[in-house]
Amino acid sequence: MPTVTYIEYNGTEHRIEVPVGKTVMQGAIDNNVPGIDADCGGECACATCHVYVDAAWLDKTGLPAPGSQEASMLSFAAVTQPDSRLSCQITVTPDLDGLVVRMPEGQH
Amino acid sequence: MSQADNHVVIAGAGHAGGSAAALLRQMGWTGAITLVGEEPLPPYQRPPLSKAWLKGEADADSLLLRPAAFYAGADIGLRLGTRVETINRAERTVTLSDGAALSYSHLILALGARPRRIPLAGADLAGVLELRSAADADALKAALGPGKRLAVIGGGYIGLEAAASARALGAEATIIERESRVLARVACPMLSHFFEAHHRTRGVEILTDAQVEALTGTSGHVTGVRLADGRQVDADAVLVGVGAVANEELARDAGLPCDNGIVVDGAARTGDPAIFAIGDCTRRPLPLYGDRLWRLESVPNALEQAKQAAAAICGKPAPAPEVPWFWSDQYDLRLQIAGIPFDAAEIVLRGDMALDSFALFHLADDGTVLAVEAVNAAQEFMGGRRIVAKRKRLNPAQIRDMSLTMQQLAA
């Protein structure tokens, strides 16, 4: 099962096995990783599952670019960076084994 | 230390209660947690019940807030199929409907709301449905399909979303609304008329200014709705969606202040410092709107108050106030609302309603943006949320000017 590492804003790391087909957001919620709110439950409607994707993964095969809805939502998420993504829009694949994401200070 | 000194009991295992239990663990609560839920399912998401779940596009696992195994793994006691029946505040105990008694150090009331019932002849006929629980949604789903006719009493969000899902399933749908427009209590007339037009284009019949007189039936099953003006709407099933009532009786019986919702402060505390209340059952202050007390029936509100209660119980700093927000999906339309348009003096349109992508900015008389209703306009919604949070003032010409980006308007 692919492993995703979630790093909280305070530096705490969580290495979580996330089944293929689940989203990075679901992996955090299912394992009670702090720092991802996911108000809308994965509908790309709220931008409260914002993460920064480790630079090594940005161009990685298997991590498609944000869709237009995600990009629009991200443009106003709290403290957006070029490596910002909404974790509900990243579906875990075998290629993403080892993915590292960092959480912002807050989601609202 | 006995368990009673260190035991959070959560009454209600919906979105609010389930989230509070998880957040207590996230915030470091090491004592016992017991989550008491009346429904047979662990905490699940209600928003999909009128949308993806109803259309058969979501499976049972994806409906759950967290996997069923999560609670045991997080040492959260899950008591399903039972409810808290009484609170003894002096003793700090609750009794459950299964006869058990629990002692608590902190009690969180996450009792939710229930569909409002209207006293109508025929309301007890089979096929007269409401939509709150997964069981309700399953009953509604079973009544829908090609050739079936659904009558919806009440043109609110639940009714509109259910009608849209019914159409997707091939059923006919008629919405019966008492007021002169749908969404009369929750949206401005422009938005109401926009949604009415879309539903009619998709084949939904909408009857406004329509008073229901009775539900008709044969052999114990509903056959339609009779209106006060004599019209008859034939139907195989009738969904009643006329608002929700806060489940406040448990709190009221315990002497806690209630006023169409359990009254709480900004930390989700009731009149008893050991008892919190969160989610749909509460009447809460809105810091962005002069601390006006209001009932918010929404998932974001449930989560915000779950955070407030968990932080207070764990001795953590209070979370920053959030802008209330709401969303609704119907057909290919995504409505997102930031803020609440209390006492708006002016409504300004940004974008083109004919292109199905626009936003309505609700301004106070001094130009402060109170709320933004956005349809297929994620930037306007997200920018609007920021503008509302900052209580920024904008003038109508700026808002209408599409050469100004939302980044510029929100700056």
Domain endpoint, select from B242, B259, B290: B242
d(CA A21, CA B311): 33
Domains and CATH numbers, chain A: 3-99 (3.10.20.30)
Q: Domain range for residue B161?
A: 128-242
Which residue among B261, B286, B314 closes a domain? Answer: B314
Q: Is the pLDDT of residue B211 over 80?
A: yes
Mean pLDDT, chain B, integer: 96
Min Cα distance B70 → chain A (Å) is 7
- Whether residue B379 and residue A72 make contact (CB cut-off 8 A), yes or no, is yes
Q: How far apart are CA A34 and CA B117, in angstroms?
A: 39
Is B121 a member of any domain?
A: no
B98, B160: one domain: no
**Residue among A32, A43, A46 minimizing CB distance to B74:** A32
- Which of B65, B320, B327 has its CB closest to that of A40? B327
CATH number at residue B164: 3.50.50.60
- Note whether B252 and B109 are same-domain residues: yes
DSSP string, A18-33: --TTSBHHHHHHHTT-
Asked whether residue B321 is assigned to any structural domain, the reply reads: no
> What is the number of domains present in chain B?
3
Rounded Cα–Cα distance for residues B337 and B341 (Å): 10
- Quick check: A108 and B379 CB within 8 A? no
Q: Say yes or no to pLDDT of B4 above 70.
A: no
Q: Which residues of B touch A106 (CB under 8 A)?
A: 320
- B319: in domain: no
Cα–Cα distances (Å) from B368 to B63, B373, B374, in that order, read 38, 15, 17
- B38 to chain A nearest CA, in Å? 22
Q: Is residue B59 over pLDDT 90? A: no
Query: How many whole angstroms separate alpha carbon B230 and alpha carbon B317?
Result: 59
What single string gives the DSSP state of each residue in B317-363? PPPPP---EEEEEETTEEEEEEE--TT-SEEEEEEEGGGTEEEEEEE
Which of B 300-359 lie inside 8 A of A, CB atoms?
Answer: 300, 303, 320, 322-323, 325, 327, 329, 334, 336
Same-domain status, B235 and B251? no
DSSP state of B263: E
The whole-number pLDDT of residue B1 equals 47
- A30: which chain B residues are within 8 Å (Cβ-Cβ)? 66-67, 70
User: Which residues of A have a CB under 8 Å from any CB of B?
Assistant: 29-32, 34, 37, 39-41, 43, 45-47, 69, 72-73, 75-77, 106, 108
C-alpha to C-alpha distances, B94 to B22, B72, B235, B307, B336, nearest whole angstrom: 21, 22, 44, 23, 39
Q: A76 to chain B: which residues are within 8 Å by CB? A: 379, 382-383, 385-386, 406-407, 410
Q: Largest Cα–Cα distance in chain A?
A: 33
Q: Is residue B397 part of a domain?
A: yes
Reported ipTM: the value is: 0.92
pLDDT confidence band for A64 (50 / 70 / 90): confident
User: Which residues of chain B have a CB within 8 Å of the CB of A37?
Assistant: 303
- Whether residue B378 and residue A69 make contact (CB cut-off 8 A), yes or no, is yes
Are residues B238 and B249 located together in one domain of the fold? no
Same domain, B109 and B252: yes
**Judgement on whether residues B88 and B160 belong to the same structural domain of the protein:** no
Residues B292 and B367 in one domain: no
Does any domain span residue B257? yes
The mean pLDDT of A53-78, rounded to a whole number, is 82
Closest C-alpha to B15, from B57, B38, B46: B46
Q: How far from B78 is each of B21, B39, B63, CA to CA, in Å?
A: 10, 11, 18
Q: Is B85 in the same domain as B182?
A: no
- Which candidate in A10, A12, A50, A72 is best for mutational testing of the B interface (most B CBs within 10 A)? A72
Task: Please write the tens of the pLDDT for every residue from B351-376.
Answer: 999 999 999 999 999 999 999 999 99
Is the domain of B269 the same as that of B200? no
B378/A contact by beta carbon, under 8 A: yes
Last residue of a domain, one of B314, B342, B360: B314
**B208 token code pair:** 């406004």
Do B338 and B405 fall into the same domain?
A: yes
Q: Which two tokens stand for residue B62?
A: 């994806």
Q: Does B347 share its domain with B382?
A: yes
Of B267, B324, B334, B328, nearest in space to B295 by CA: B324
Query: B288-303, pLDDT tens digit by residue?
Result: 999 999 999 999 999 9
Residue B66 — φ and ψ, nearest 5°? -140, 160
Residue B324 lies in a domain: no
- With an 8 Å Cβ cutoff, is B390 touching chain A? no
Interface check for B48 against chain A (CB to CB < 8 A): the answer is yes
- pLDDT tens for B224-241 read 999 999 999 999 999 999
The residue among B39, B132, B15, B38 whose CA lies nearest residue B85 is: B38
CATH of the domain at B356: 3.30.390.30
Is B297 among the domain residues? yes
Residue B276 lies in a domain: yes
Q: What is the DSSP string of B271-322?
A: SSTTEEE-GGGEEEEEGGGTTEEE---SHHHHHHHHHHHHHHHHTPPPPPP-
Phi, psi of B337 (to 5 degrees): -120, 125
Where b means 16+ CB within 10 Å and e means fewer, B113-135 reads bebeeeebebeebebbbbbbbbe
| B16-45 confidence digits (pLDDT tens) | 999 999 999 999 999 999 999 999 999 999
Q: Kindly indicate the confidence band of residue A55, based on its pLDDT and cuts at 50, 70 and 90.
A: confident
Specify the pTM: 0.95
- Kindly state whether residues B104 and B10 are assigned to the same domain: yes
